[in-house]
Structure 1
Amino acid sequence: MGRGPLRALWDEPRAVAPPGTAWWDRALVAGLVPLTVLEAGLRTDVVWPVWDAGWALVCVAALWWRARHPLAMLVVAYGAQTVAGVVPALAGEPYSVLNVTAVVLLLAYSLGRWASGRGVVAGCVFLLGAHLGREPQYDSSGASMLLGVGALMLPVALGALARFWAASQVRAREEVRLRERERLARDLHDTVAHHVSGILMQARAAKVRGRTDPTAAVEAMDGVEEAATQTLEDMRSMVAVLREGEDDGHARTPTYGVKDIPMLAQHHGEGPQVVVHTSGDVERLPAAIGSALFRAAQEAVTNARRHAVEPTVVAIDLARDKDLVRLRVHDDGRPAAPARGRRTTPSYGLAGMRERVSLVGGAVQAGPDPAGGWTVEAIVPVTPSARK
């Protein structure tokens, strides 16, 4: 059950205030101190100038710590303004609080901006209680008192709005970072798993051949070296793209597309042969769609090498029919024995493939083929906006 709005407000933690005192607060205090002295000396209606100036300076000084201690500074400043006006009124003197004390409105803003939920509630209760308690001493009308309530609550509300806007910006940045981490995780999986599966197959072949034919074992190790070199180059390219995106602030472009799918057919001795066939205008697909299809094909080939039982051929068919692109990857591995059965629960790679394709509006299906083997099929629409 979700929390109600009042409970959510009560449990709201304090906002993280900037360290120290902001330069504008220091400038404001530095400017208001002489202005306070000047107002107290020049106003002819001020009966107790030293008294009024002293309490006004307390209000001004509270600005220095308003972000770090918003509730305490509000209580100090509004209490000082109240004492400055109520004591002369009780002595029969006219109202003569200095205009500088209006900085309490900025402290009310700070309450909504920085204080915890409990602090905001406590501060609002204090403001309303002090305001409604002191205004009758000034012979204020009901309309004037109501207007004062609005004037005090408005900056609190503005501070809360600024707080929630800042929090939404932080959440948006966190979501962007999370999506970047997820993209990086998918790219790492797709790149590393594909090449490491090849390295593993070559290493196993070298181990078997080394018992009878050392020359063949050396050839197999050459394949291991080639696959490891390609893995290293791909990871360096990935890091270079990430660094470039961070430096220039532009979107990170995919490193692979449909034009790179034929390189999946490069055969290194062991494992099934990979055959690629394309039809239709697949060369002019949008970069995002091309990258998603390449990664889907790469993951499907990797899964065939790792999980299929004695496959001989992995066929990749990529076809475009107007505004629809279809990728089909089929291996002819025979049905697995129950003890070794092919994994039927979604792997991270298959989940990443589905997520990647779904981001470009497509869908992925994977499972045993009625004609034998295993088939992965991805269908992606090419919308008019994607073609731009």
Structure 2
Amino acid sequence: MTRTEYPWLLPSAMAGAADPDSARRRGGRRARRTVRDWGVDLIVFFFAVFVGMLALDTAEQAGNSEPLILADLLVGVAACCALWVRRRWPLGLAVGLVLVEVVAPTAVGATLVALFSLAIHRPFKPVGYVLVLALAGMTAQAYVRPDPTISHLFAVILGALLTLLALAWGMLVRSRRQLVLALRERAVRAENEAALRAEQAQRLAREAIAREMHDVLAHRLTLLSVHAGALEFRPDAPPPEVARAAGVIRDSAHEALQDLRMIIGVLRAPGDDGERPQPTLATLDALIAESREAGMKVTLDSGVQDHDAVPSTIGRTAYRIAQEGLTNARKHAPGTGTTVLVSGGPGDGLTVEVRNEAPHGPVPHVPGSGQGLIGLTERATLAGGRFEHGATRDGGFAVKAWLPWSS
């Protein structure tokens, strides 16, 4: 549901909520009357006619002449018929009927209806002016066309009460309509904001999934690509080396499929993370061992005595940074020495650095997305830390991250 589906909920409609019927206009033309409109118009018309007939009967009892009674009848009929345009010209109609009522009591019913409609469709300021005019008109009528059955004071008080009642009722209806419009506007706004929040949450989820898939799969697929490239460049390699490379390719493909199944499982059941353990700093030794088995020369220098003491969120981020650093070293500097440095403690933060030496000779081309370092920067930033990367003095490359570790 959007604002375009409910044009009367736009700010312009709220500004003109004094005339709710104007909110139903389309392209400058009024909408056709609904069944409810016809029903309301008929009810107020017959009410005005009924009150006018009572006033006419009172005029006959007062002994007025037949021409005056006929004039009252015609004026009353005209006033009742004028109520059909009360929505289009509420202010003009109310002022006109208040003036006519002074000399024609048969217009009293139509005047009350016009005042009621005016209070619905216009703000308080013009209604207040008309109220003063109506009270003056009621007072003048009590003396110009007196009712012989009641006193002048009672006639003035009764007319004032009826006038105030009609205006108060109309203002109550107006306030209720404005409240409904405001609630609908608030509901539409809340729904739009909820849709925006959901869209933002989906975007953040997609980014998180993309980072996770890159970090998890890039490590495995890089192993597969490097050893497949070695087989391509050395077709005459000894059978044991070929078998070893083929085994690494097979194991890497199998592990990649397992990791992919894990990610898909997390997507299908995002609340079931307990059955799918995530890597932490405690599993860094297994990552180093796996890289060594793949032929990398990796040295781990850890100043953290107990890896299990590192918070899981910080440890997982540190693990992913080390994993991506090893993946980049394997891709861009195969056969060189790589050092993984881990240091820090509670209160000082956790520092993770992966540094590789300069590559020896030409490097086989391994395709990459170029998103790894961007993903690491986002991971470190989301964890409240910092991330740096760049070439070293000896021609190698290093990635370094500092992550907060509260005491």
Q: Which residue of 2 aligns with 1:202?
A: 227
Q: Which residue of 2 aligns with 1:85?
A: 43
Shift of 1:90: 4.8
TM-score (norm. length: structure 2): 0.59
State the AA in 2 paired with 1:91.
V
Alignment of 1:377-388 (within 5 A): 377-383=400-406
Alignment of 1:180-191 (within 5 A): 180-191=205-216
Q: Which residue of 1 aligns with 2:321?
A: 296
Note if contact 1:210-1:216 (Cα within 8 Å) is conserved in structure 2: no
Note if contact 2:336-2:359 (Cα within 8 Å) is conserved in structure 1: no
The answer to whether 1:366 aligns with 2:389 is: yes
State the AA in 2 paired with 1:13.
T
Q: Which residue of 2 aligns with 1:255?
A: 278
Structure 2 CA distance for partners of 1:132 and 1:369, relative to 1, 3 Å: farther
Aligned partners of 1:167, 1:271: CA distance in 2, in Å?
55
Aligned partners of 2:381, 2:256: CA distance in 1, in Å?
26
The answer to whether 1:232 aligns with 2:250 is: no
Note if contact 2:295-2:335 (Cα within 8 Å) is conserved in structure 1: yes
Q: Which residue of 2 aligns with 1:375?
A: 398
Aligned partners of 2:34, 2:244: CA distance in 1, in Å?
83
The answer to whether 1:314 aligns with 2:338 is: yes
In the TM superposition, what whole-angstrom CA distance separates every residue of 1:94-118 from its partner, at most 9, and x where no partner exists? 8xxxxxxxxxxxxxxxxxxxxxxxx
Structure 2 CA distance for partners of 1:305 and 1:200, relative to 1, 3 Å: same
Shift of 1:254: 6.4
Please, which moves more after superposition, 133-142 or 368-377?
Answer: 133-142
Gaps of 5+ in 2: 7-29, 53-85, 95-110, 120-126, 129-166
Structure showing greater Rg: 2
The answer to whether 1:14 aligns with 2:32 is: no
Shift of 1:156: 0.4
Shift of 1:160: 0.8
Aligned partners of 2:178, 2:310: CA distance in 1, in Å?
56
State the AA in 2 paired with 1:256.
P
In the TM superposition, what whole-angstrom CA distance separates every residue of 1:1-38 from its partner, at most 9, and x where no partner exists? xxxxxxxxxx94327xxxxxxxxxxxxxxxxxxxxxxx
Structure 2 CA distance for partners of 1:313 and 1:128, relative to 1, 3 Å: farther
Structure 2 CA distance for partners of 1:264 and 1:258, relative to 1, 3 Å: same
Note if contact 2:224-2:249 (Cα within 8 Å) is conserved in structure 1: yes
SS at match of 2:326: helix
Q: Which residue of 2 aligns with 1:275?
A: 299
Aligned partners of 2:364, 2:241: CA distance in 1, in Å?
29
SS at match of 2:354: strand
Structure 2 CA distance for partners of 1:268 and 1:381, relative to 1, 3 Å: closer
Q: 1:149 aligns with which of 162, 174, 183?
A: 174
Note if contact 1:277-1:317 (Cα within 8 Å) is conserved in structure 2: yes
In the TM superposition, what whole-angstrom CA distance separates every residue of 1:119-173 from its partner, at most 9, and x where no partner exists? xxxxxxxx98587688755144736344443222110001111121122222222
SS at match of 2:209: helix
Alignment of 1:37-48 (within 5 A): none
Shift of 1:371: 4.5
Structure 2 CA distance for partners of 1:130 and 1:271, relative to 1, 3 Å: farther
State the AA in 2 paired with 1:191.
V
Q: 2:183 aligns with which of 154, 158, 182?
A: 158
In the TM superposition, what whole-angstrom CA distance separates every residue of 1:60-109 from its partner, at most 9, and x where no partner exists? xxxxxxxxxxxx99962652354133322453448xxxxxxxxxxxxxxx
Aligned partners of 1:185, 1:78: CA distance in 2, in Å?
56
Note if contact 1:282-1:320 (Cα within 8 Å) is conserved in structure 2: no
Q: Which residue of 1 aligns with 2:268?
A: 243
Number of residue pairs the alignment of both structures matches: 282
SS at match of 2:308: coil
Alpha carbon RMSD of aligned pairs, Å?
3.8
Note if contact 1:89-1:137 (Cα within 8 Å) is conserved in structure 2: no
Gaps of 5+ in 1: 1-10, 16-71, 95-126
Aligned partners of 2:225, 2:187: CA distance in 1, in Å?
56
Structure 2 CA distance for partners of 1:335 and 1:200, relative to 1, 3 Å: closer
Structure 2 CA distance for partners of 1:172 and 1:212, relative to 1, 3 Å: closer
TM-score (norm. length: structure 1): 0.62
State the AA in 1 paired with 2:336.
T
Structure 2 CA distance for partners of 1:260 and 1:74, relative to 1, 3 Å: farther
Aligned partners of 2:361, 2:49: CA distance in 1, in Å?
98
